[in-house]
């Protein structure tokens, strides 16, 4: 894993670019009953991309895990329980970048992800969508990122095996981010 930011983003000027939660999504998918996927998102999150004068960037974000929404209130309540997020004890998940690398086709953001009190290194595959002058409130930048984590690596070890094999919930969680960030004055 890279320990220093090495890539820059064309057009992303120095300053703090705050995530706009109204125009951003923090979502996930997980295998359900072996044959399909459950999708969900978190509705309460914040973060920023801090760009230094030399153009290097650092990313930080925080997610309120009790803001989970899978369109099923019973499932959401179970996900907030000690079986999964234990949201009362661990109310936030956090991400802090440790480096950003260009891949030629896109970028990889290396960082530390903390969920349920466990911190692990992750790599986010990142697409930088550019900068737009905005709609009168200053420039905005767009990013899309994805990573796959194993829930068991973060202490979410509940197993609900199915009679015919497999489990109710898969181990691999795909995290999808669609981010719009606005340059702060």
Condensed to tens digits (0 to 9), the pLDDT of residues 32-71 reads 776 778 899 999 999 999 999 998 999 999 999 999 999 9
Phi first, then psi: what are they for 122, rounded to 5°? -135, 160
pLDDT digits (tens, 9 = 90+) for 66-89: 999 999 999 899 999 998 999 999
Domain boundaries of the chain, sorted by first residue: 15-183
**Confidence (pTM):** 0.90
What sign results for the dihedral spanned by CA atoms 42, 114, 175, 33?
negative
Domain 15-183 classification at class level: mainly beta
């Amino acid at each position: 894993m890279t320990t220093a930011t090495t890539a820059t983003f064309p057009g992303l000027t120095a300053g703090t670019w705050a995530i706009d939660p109204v125009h951003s999504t923090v979502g996930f998918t997980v295998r359900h009953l072996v044959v399909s996927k459950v999708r969900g998102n978190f509705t309460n999150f914040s973060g920023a991309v801090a760009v230094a004068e030399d153009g290097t960037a650092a990313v930080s974000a925080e997610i309120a895990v009790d803001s989970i929404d899978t369109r099923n209130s019973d499932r959401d309540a179970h996900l907030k329980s000690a079986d999964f997020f234990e949201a009362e004890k661990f109310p936030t998940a956090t991400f802090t970048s440790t480096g950003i690398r260009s891949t030629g086709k896109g970028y990889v953001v290396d960082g530390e992800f903390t969920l349920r009190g466990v911190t692990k290194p992750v790599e986010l595959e990142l697409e930088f969508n550019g900068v737009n002058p905005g709609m009168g409130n200053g420039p905005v930048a767009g990013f899309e990122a994805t990573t796959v984590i194993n829930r068991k690596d973060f202490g979410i070890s509940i197993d609900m095996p199915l009679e015919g094999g497999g489990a109710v919930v898969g181990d691999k969680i795909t995290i999808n981010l669609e981010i719009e960030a606005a340059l702060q004055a």
